């Protein structure tokens, strides 16, 4: 039987479509803005994670090191428990914390 990770933050949060399209007047534009911000957040988190994991990496990999590097495991667990970038971006958008503009032709 597969084990599922239980977190305190739900994976699916129902959102009011009217609130999402309120700032832009268009749901698809709002989703596009949220998507771009989510990608930025994801990239930033990934860079931080790689940087922290590289601090603990060694050039020589032995069998024992692979299974006993507790620091890397703890760091990875911390980042797994963080809220999803999409949720963070959506919250920022709904709280009017994002600045955006549209190109005019």
- pLDDT for position 2: 42
* pLDDT tens-place string over residues 2-15: 444 445 666 678 89
Q: From 41, 55, 24, 47, select the one nearest 85 (Cα to Cα).
A: 41
- pLDDT for position 77: 87
What's the pTM?
0.76
CA dist., res. 79 & res. 43, Å (int): 13
* pLDDT tens-place string over residues 55-81: 877 665 666 555 557 788 888 888 888
**Any idea where the domains of the chain sit in the sequence?**
18-94
Q: What are phi and psi of 60, to 5 degrees?
A: -105, 120
């Amino acid at each position: 039987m597969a084990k599922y990770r239980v977190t305190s933050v739900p994976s699916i949060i129902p959102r009011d479509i009217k609130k999402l399209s309120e700032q832009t007047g268009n749901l698809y534009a709002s989703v596009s803005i949220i998507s771009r911000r989510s990608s930025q957040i994801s990239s930033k988190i990934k860079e931080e994670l790689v940087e922290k994991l590289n601090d603990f990496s060694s050039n020589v990999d032995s069998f024992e090191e692979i299974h006993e590097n507790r620091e890397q495991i703890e760091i990875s667990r911390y980042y797994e428990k963080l809220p999803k970038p999409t949720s963070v971006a959506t919250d920022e958008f709904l709280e009017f914390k994002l600045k955006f503009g549209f190109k005019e032709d």
